[in-house]
Structure 1
Amino acid sequence: MQGSSDYFLTSGDKIRFFFEKGVLDKKGNFLIPKEKSISKIGHALHAYDPVFKQITHSSKVQELGRKLGLERPVVVQSMYIFKQPGIGGEVTPHQDATFLHTEPLGRILGFWIALEDATQENGCLWFIPGSHTNGITRRMVRAPSGASTCVEFVGSEPAYDDSQFIPLPIKKGGLILIHGEVVHKSELNSSEFSRHAFTFHVMEAKGTTWSKENWLQPTPELPFPSLYT
């Protein structure tokens, strides 16, 4: 378990592969084809893969950042999410600032690009409108050395009312911008269609402190790169 924890905790400046739950037997053999078992690839595609680096730093993204008034945006992480047909796991209600904490809040922005149509059937995103104004009540932080897990949660997890969520289906090629404190989720993909997406998070670095307790940390090998080139 510690090996897999370290694999996650040290993935911020690497390209690594993460699999869905339940796809391996007790001996570590795949129960379904490997290419159909993968959940996501992360967390430094924006830095090391030429295709995703080009997308992240494209003129369209940079222009959007400037229109939003971002003065010194840096890219903190990126992921290719597969949401495999039939097994693509549920993502429970959360706020990105729980995992990517800044002081002050309000400095994290997610770019979520649909690489396939995202529908209610294959696990599109759902949001609680207006929830970005309520702050956060919990954080995921690095666990003390010697702990049985690499991260732990501090604070309380709110109980969300399912009726408050609205779905946001989107066509292939569409972009969803996600405020760091907005509550969102996605359901299990029980359909026969995958729901591929590329997502990355940007932080306004001007006047902002990145928490040293965050699981993800810049490294000498990969300081957070500027969005603008």
Structure 2
Amino acid sequence: MALNILTPSQVQQWKEDGYLLLPNFFSPEESEEMLDEAKRLCDEFDVTDHPMTTFKTQADGEHVGDDYFLSSGDKIRYFLEPSSLATATPSEPSKLLVEPAKSINKIGHALAPLNPIYKKYTLDNPKIVGLAKDLGEQESPRVLQSMIICKQPRIGGIVPCHNDSTFLYTDPPSAIGCWIALEDCTPSNGCLSFLPGSHKAARIASRFVRDPSGKGTTFTDVPGIEKNQENWDEMEGWKEASCPAGTLVLIHGSVMHKSPPNKSDKSRLIYTFHMIEGGNGTIYDEKNWLQPTEEMPFPALF
């Protein structure tokens, strides 16, 4: 099969490791345009009437789940870094401890279809189409969860060990992430780390869903799948994935990865989106936290 973007050795490395760094996938001018747009969106954040919804991870012991979050699949919304916010008290509402532009954890979840800059570099990008075809993993990719992740200086939080198919579950699992560095990503400002080959052993035994009670989100078991007993976080072989701006990192939905907090004075802005299989009888059901709408179904890449 003729390849469009990748080399045969890169395809083999992807299959072996479950992730692949592609430096210079975007030119300095292209990554700068995406970075400028991310900064513009941050600068235009208006905290007036914002519900002060934070984005929390497993490291925080809970996940967000208010309506602002759950109805963001066809919108561009702002989610705050937990440490940027003073906790509400009976007498005082929540308030920001930093300027609004520096309080943002992420902006999502429909940048690719709704923002012209990110649409240009995602849905309208022949290189992304060629890349997806080279992987050969999906017959009809659908794009979802497109977002900016800020990893703010000094307050950007830890992202614990996880894999993406738990959070974007399909039957069978099919998620692939495209993670794009808009700034240099280093160990000091929170670059990714991966456990190479873990996608071959990890089982998607639980999934992140809307709570059946109608309030928030929770995890539920996947019937018939036995949970791994390994403590992935403590296994040997983790590799840091430092990368310069313009790098695209491909992430298999089952590979274990994480990132540390940003304790530096430098931000770590990235743009990311995911693809799931939209054909081959693959099921993305109503239990998932992120839902398409009739007005905006998950767009097909090709």
Q: TM-score range by the shorter chain?
A: over 0.9
Structure 2: tracts of 5 or more residues without a match: 1-50, 54-65, 222-226
Q: 1:28-43 counterparts in 2 under 5 A?
A: 28-43=94-109
Higher relative contact order (CA closer than 8 Å, sequence separation 6+) = 1
The residue identity in structure 2 corresponding to 1:16 is: R
TM-score, normalised relative to structure 1: 0.92
Matched, 1:225 2:295: no
Structure-1 residue corresponding to 2:131: 64
Matched, 1:161 2:249: no
Alpha-carbon RMSD across the aligned residues, in angstroms, is 1.8
Task: Give the secondary-structure state (helix, strand or coil) at the position aligned to 2:85.
Answer: coil
Q: 1:98-177 counterparts in 2 under 5 A?
A: 98-105=166-173, 107-134=174-201, 135-146=203-214, 149-155=215-221, 159-162=231-234, 163-177=236-250
Give the number of aligned pairs: 224
CA contact (8 A) 2:84 2:155 kept: no
Could you list the per-position Cα deviations for residues 146-187 of structure 1 after superposition, in whole angstroms to 9, with x for gaps in the alignment? Answer: 5xx411112468632334421111110001000001011100
Matched, 1:97 2:165: yes
The residue identity in structure 2 corresponding to 1:184 is: H
Match of 2:78 among 8, 12, 17: 17
Matched, 1:198 2:271: yes
CA contact (8 A) 2:52 2:94 kept: no
Structure-1 residue corresponding to 2:14: none
Q: Displacement of 1:131 after TM fit?
A: 0.9
Q: Which moved more, 1:171-180 or 1:64-73?
A: 64-73
CA contact (8 A) 2:105 2:149 kept: yes
Task: Give the secondary-structure state (helix, strand or coil) at the position aligned to 1:79.
Answer: strand
Distance 1:49 1:31 in 2: 29
Change (3 A) 1:77 1:215: same
CA contact (8 A) 2:52 2:79 kept: no
TM-score, normalised relative to structure 2: 0.71
Distance 2:163 2:187 in 1: 20
Q: Could you say which structure has the larger radius of gyration?
A: 2
Distance 1:126 1:220 in 2: 37
Structure 1: tracts of 5 or more residues without a match: none
Distance 2:286 2:148 in 1: 25
Q: Displacement of 1:3 after TM fit?
A: 9.3
| Structure with higher strand content | 1
Distance 2:253 2:117 in 1: 25
Structure-1 residue corresponding to 2:68: 7
Distance 1:131 1:49 in 2: 34
Match of 1:46 among 112, 118, 125: 112
